[in-house]
């Protein structure tokens, strides 16, 4: 007796959407980045104030907080470019 060939059926959901879903919502990502940037800004300012003075220490803290947001928006931009 000959065996019948089995045909594989593919799931239409998997083939129509090749990009995976985000693992966290955008709202939660913004909250995490907000907490992280504030924490890094405060920590950097606390560490820099004794060595550099109040003004320069606070500016370094603001710079590090802004760099975290810059990296966040850069990665969102790259992600949207790659998902086109």
Domain residues for 45? 25-82
Residue 5: inside a domain: no
Tally of domains within the chain: 1
Mean pLDDT of 8-35: 75
Checking if the pLDDT of 70 tops 90, the result is yes
Checking if the pLDDT of 9 tops 80, the result is no
Cβ atoms of residues 45 and 60 within 8 Å: yes
Q: Which residues contact 57 (CB under 8 A, 6 or more apart)?
A: 44, 45, 46, 47, 48, 49, 50, 51
Residue 17: inside a domain: no
Checking if the pLDDT of 14 tops 60, the result is no
pLDDT band at 1 (very low <50, low <70, confident <90, very high): low
């Amino acid at each position: 007796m000959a065996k019948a060939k089995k045909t594989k059926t593919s799931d239409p959901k998997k083939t129509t959407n090749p990009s995976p879903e985000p693992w966290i919502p955008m709202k939660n990502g913004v909250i995490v980045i907000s907490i992280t940037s504030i924490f890094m800004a405060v920590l950097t300012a606390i560490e820099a104030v004794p060595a550099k003075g109040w003004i320069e220490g606070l500016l370094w803290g603001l710079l590090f907080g802004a760099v975290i947001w810059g990296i966040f928006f850069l990665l969102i931009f790259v992600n949207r470019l790659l998902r086109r």
